[in-house]
Amino acid sequence: MADDLALLLRRAGFGPTAAELAAAKKAGYDATVAALTAPTAPDVGASLAPVPVLGPDPLSGLSSPTVAQRAKASEERWRQTARITQWWLDRLTVADHQTREKLWFFWHGHWATSVRKVLRPQLMLTQHRTLRSSLDFAVMAHKMITDPALVFWLDGESNTRTAPNENLGRELMELFMLGIGRYSEQDVKAAGRALTGWRIDYDGARTFFSPGWHDNGAKTILGTTKNFDAHSLVDFLLKQDRCAAFIAERLWFRYASSTDPIPKSTRDAMVAVFPNSMSMLRKLFEDDAFRASAGRLVKQPTEWFVGAMRHLGLRPGELSDEMSTYVLNGLERLGQLPFAPPSVEGWPAGAEWLTVGAAQARLNLAGRIAQLVPAQRLTPEDVAHVLTIETWTNRTYAALKATTDPQHLLTIGLASPEYLVT
């Protein structure tokens, strides 16, 4: 029971503090699930890190910028990107409604869009706000299909009646709504045609519809022929049986096990409450298969870092500039920088985070984080308490016994296999 609760809190959020874990143990599993998935109190913690306001893009209003203006703009955009990334890490750390924050992080990885191509942090932030304001998957899918960052990322703005671009239509079906192999190449082409006509107003950070660019002809998608457009396509895909099942599978993959497939009964329970994603999570957390999935997930680098901040009572928003830069570089070396997923498929999972290169990067970042904690006498048991580890394995205990330096103890604790794998 106690182990179940630790597992639940680790998976639902970014890492419970010792106090949160103690409170949950008092409340019990069912009440904790309810509190996590339907928080009633306002999120006081999150109010410490309000969504930043970036102001206009540096090239906004310039129809033909000079080389110097472009260079300056690119530098400014880079600064703005660092700012929103640091902000998000801070927000993930201070928010009380951990389950919500983690779910938004999940959706970012699902509709994976990278600032590396989008370039404008304003568009990334617009997408981020949109994900936050979408109460269920259906609303989200409708908003995403015309989201300026996603449309730009998948070349949707240059998808026209005369020469369609398939990129957005393909990934809509393959990665966002149905899963691979649930459609034909003809469906991809037809979906591309349905999505024609959307263009981007960069200065306004919005998309708009140009009827003249839209293909008005009949399209046959998954056996249904009609004059599909972006929204009727999304509606149509939402009604496919595969859509709800696919989203349930993705949630399982990220919250329960990156290696074992979702049991059918678990999936059915989640599908029944689609498209409300928080309800789907609740069904997942209540499922026996979830409780039995301990040890099947590796923390993503962002989870690991934010968890460390929470456990040690630190705030990403209060780090020195030098340390902030080190953190962003460290997360990049570990393979996960928010707002910059490696591809439209989002981030990898499981053992892929456990490379030798990542082991070295993690040790060094752990070492720097530990230095931020004021030195005080610590035992291995104290470190376990702070990091909410139930018991150390013999191996890690032996490694911890090799030092008495508190910062070295924390470094080893943060890098330990039992801290990395939930």
Interface of this chain with other proteins, residues 350 to 369, rule: CB under 8 A: 350-352, 354-360, 363-364, 366-368
291-350: contacts with other proteins (CB under 8 A): 294-298, 329, 332-333, 342-345, 347-350
| 11 close to 254: Cβ distance less than 8 angstroms | no
Q: What is the DSSP letter of 342?
A: S
Closest CB 407 distance from other proteins, rounded Å:
7
Q: Report helix, strand or coil for 201.
A: strand
- Contact between 75 and other proteins (CB under 8 A)? no
- Contact between 274 and other proteins (CB under 8 A)? no
Q: Which residues have CB under 8 Å from 376's CB, separation 6+?
A: 406
**Total residues interacting with other proteins, rule: CB under 8 A:** 75
382 vs 138: CA distance, rounded Å? 46
Closest CB 135 distance from other proteins, rounded Å:
28
Question: Which of 78, 241, 381, 390 is the binder for other proteins (CB under 8 A)?
Answer: 78
Cβ nearer to other proteins, comparing 116 with 264: 116
Q: Which region holds residue 319: left if phi is over 0, alpha if psi is between -120 and 50, else beta?
A: beta
Per-residue x/- track, 254-273, other proteins (CB under 8 A) = ----xx--------------
380-399: contacts with other proteins (CB under 8 A): 393-396, 398-399
- Contact between 420 and other proteins (CB under 8 A)? yes
Binding segment (CB under 8 A) for other proteins, from list 7-15, 178-186, 275-283, 372-380: 178-186
422 vs 417: CA distance, rounded Å? 9
| 15 close to 308: Cβ distance less than 8 angstroms | yes
Question: Which of 164, 197, 275, 316 is the binder for other proteins (CB under 8 A)?
Answer: 164
Question: Which of 90, 171, 229, 303 is the binder for other proteins (CB under 8 A)?
Answer: 171
138-157: contacts with other proteins (CB under 8 A): 153-155
Cβ nearer to other proteins, comparing 52 with 348: 348
How many Cα atoms are found within 13 Å in the side-chain-facing hemisphere of 199? 11
Using alpha carbons, select from 30, 26, 31, 84 the residue that is nearest to residue 54. Answer: 84
Binding segment (CB under 8 A) for other proteins, from list 14-22, 169-177, 240-248, 266-274: 169-177
- Contact between 411 and other proteins (CB under 8 A)? yes
Closest CB 111 distance from other proteins, rounded Å:
13
Cβ nearer to other proteins, comparing 48 with 349: 349
Using alpha carbons, select from 94, 88, 96, 132 the residue that is nearest to residue 278. Answer: 132
Question: Which of 3, 75, 241, 405 is the binder for other proteins (CB under 8 A)?
Answer: 405
| 141 close to 154: Cβ distance less than 8 angstroms | no
Using alpha carbons, select from 145, 149, 126 the residue that is nearest to residue 197. Answer: 145
Using alpha carbons, select from 111, 255, 130, 103 the residue that is nearest to residue 174. Answer: 111
